[in-house]
Structure 1
């Protein structure tokens, strides 16, 4: 089995979220929907569906297939960075989990390692992938896709003296839970870019622990709620001396959508001469949509190189809307044009990875919007 399990009795005692889990007491995830669509009420087996993207690791429903490149080794198990007793949703994750897969990157990768997690049936399915990387450079692309039911994906990462680039593209129409938990050792550098469109309810969380000296994190996130809901959480803990983290999130809500970002950065006493930054903003595209931005920064050492945080919730630029309407666009057409313009900008930003990701990222981004 190679991963922790939880009993039904213990599972029933767990809460979805403790007050200390986030910068606000209020939870923006609609946990009631997860309770109504939990593994206690839905099947925990599902057939694989079809995805028009080639992958090295393909997890769909209860099935898994692998076509790993040279330099990547496969075993079973986890890295132990997550536990079923942390929360009720993680309890559900481990209660349902059939197998956990561990990847070890032992050589530099010229092409991205592509991982797909997918569900297309009404069931509760858990996928769990762990990645180890030391003394290597490697790009990783994660597609997080759910069409029906409830899907939970946990990705664990341990990096040391490594340069890792992670692109996460999420597209949901149902319920989804995602946890990326990373441990950065000495001189580890992670550049993470996340673009995710919420489904009926999407809980997307990324935790980074900068434990080694001169470890670095550059995080960019774009949560999008278009007639859907996403609660996007980023947590960065800095322990290592001269560590550096930079989190910038810009979310969008549209057509009665929800886009929430809650971001924490904490610099501990041991992280002397470090840099930490959290910038969070949400653009509300129309009336009836919700946007929430809650960044939080805590510094325990007086020997800090730089620390800053900022928050903004903005309405769509009415001047831009007026300009488009004055040129013959209706209000709905103008807003749609603006939203799709975001997709084009993202495509340009991802130009370097687009040709390597075994799929057309531009088309997938267009599908998100």
Structure 2
């Protein structure tokens, strides 16, 4: 295992990991169990490695089968005429191309959805603007299960914004299928109402020389847990996973990912940044990268940084890197959790900037690296405004 801490993190006085170092998985991620059958998975009790950071009592029954569907999600798609939007049944042969459920909630969502939304960007098509998918929760006190698949066929190039809004409880699977030499950029915004619970499993499948860009933004909800898995189906795949999250009092925001390098000459880069404020605000980031024996010439790096703004907030950060071959281009990871840098604040205040404005500038700078990668102006402006609103809550 290779572990690195960047020079930038060291300069900011950030600790390497949240609980005294990296937690090594109990078994190889290459042996991870997957199944469509709900009963093939044990009911998680909260002590299992994959669930030990998740407050299972707040999952509203998604994990143990007691959460029956009492509502439906609404899916609105806005796209140009060249993009195909379909509502299909469970028997559609395309469903499942992205991947197979790897936990009980994903399997429950798979067995419970009745119709799936399939959005296809045909081969060689490059939509002029972003495709917009808005997912509305089932409503207060209601539970729903959903399934969405987004496809980019050969040589297609598209940006898709998936926007989660509203209330209720949602268990879902979402697939991203990127065919040979296609490019798919996803921006997912989890901006739920305060009561919402979401557990989402994201399955990305990359063909030969495919490029996948994914930016996850998590702001709202009571509990949001997102599992993202990237699988390479052939050589030359390139994946970039970016994330931005901001947790307030009582919120639990959890991001887990597995980048499964099973093919040679593929690349991946993971960068997630989060901020926390308020009592019992809790964020979790688990980054697993597996480089299998056949994945020669792999190049990968993952980094997670967290900024704790107030007392009572907690961030957990666990990067895991598993390497089965020495024939790689490079691999590493870094993880950091820290508070405001007093020297930075003093520097700004000594130049006449009031403390509240100085704190805002520090947070803006912290998230700036992520925000500048958002190519959709209206989404970037919306997120900048949301961060300002978060800071205003505590009068920062």
Normalised TM-score (structure 1): 0.80
Q: Does 1:247 align with 2:270?
A: yes
After superposing the two structures, state which structure 1 stretch, 337-346 or 217-226, moved more: 337-346
Cα distance 1:126–1:267, how it changes in 2: closer, same or farther (>3 A)? same
Deviation at 1:319, TM superposition (A): 2.5
Distance 2:291 2:67 in 1: 41
Distance 1:215 1:83 in 2: 20
Deviation at 1:88, TM superposition (A): 2.6
State whether residues 210 and 238 of structure 2, in contact with CA within 8 Å, keep that contact through their aligned partners in structure 1: yes
Instruction: Quote the residue 2:16 is aligned against.
Output: none
SS of residue matched to 1:304: coil
SS of residue matched to 1:212: coil
Q: Does 1:122 align with 2:122?
A: no
1:86-125 to 2 correspondence within 5 Å?
Answer: 86-106=102-122, 107-119=125-137, 120-125=139-144
Instruction: Quote the residue 2:244 is aligned against.
Output: 222
Q: Does 1:131 align with 2:131?
A: no
Distance 1:233 1:312 in 2: 16
1:197-276 to 2 correspondence within 5 Å?
Answer: 197-227=219-249, 228-256=251-279, 257-276=281-300
Pick aligned residue for 1:71 from 59, 82, 85: 82
Distance 2:259 2:312 in 1: 32
State whether residues 115 and 143 of structure 1, in contact with CA within 8 Å, keep that contact through their aligned partners in structure 2: yes
Deviation at 1:150, TM superposition (A): 0.9
Query: Unaligned regions of 5+ residues in structure 2, if any?
Result: 1-34, 391-396
Cα distance 1:41–1:17, how it changes in 2: closer, same or farther (>3 A)? closer
Normalised TM-score (structure 2): 0.75
Q: Does 1:144 align with 2:164?
A: yes
Write the deviation string for residues 23-49 of structure 1: whole angstroms up to 9, x where unpaired.
x56621212111457796667344xxx
Q: Does 1:34 align with 2:59?
A: yes
Distance 1:296 1:200 in 2: 27
Cα distance 1:349–1:272, how it changes in 2: closer, same or farther (>3 A)? closer
Deviation at 1:122, TM superposition (A): 2.1
Write the deviation string for residues 196-245 of structure 1: whole angstroms up to 9, x where unpaired.
12521110121111231111011211122122221111210111211011
State whether residues 43 and 122 of structure 1, in contact with CA within 8 Å, keep that contact through their aligned partners in structure 2: no
State whether residues 45 and 56 of structure 2, in contact with CA within 8 Å, keep that contact through their aligned partners in structure 1: no
Distance 2:82 2:229 in 1: 26
Instruction: Quote the residue 2:326 is aligned against.
Output: 302
Pick aligned residue for 2:182 from 156, 162, 183: 162
Which structure's relative contact order is higher, taking Cα pairs within 8 Å and 6+ residues apart?
Answer: 2
Distance 1:142 1:101 in 2: 12
Deviation at 1:79, TM superposition (A): 2.8
Distance 1:301 1:18 in 2: 33
Distance 2:114 2:64 in 1: 13
How many residue pairs were aligned? Answer: 338
SS of residue matched to 1:295: strand
Instruction: Quote the residue 2:6 is aligned against.
Output: none
Root-mean-square deviation (Å)? 3.1
Distance 2:332 2:371 in 1: 29
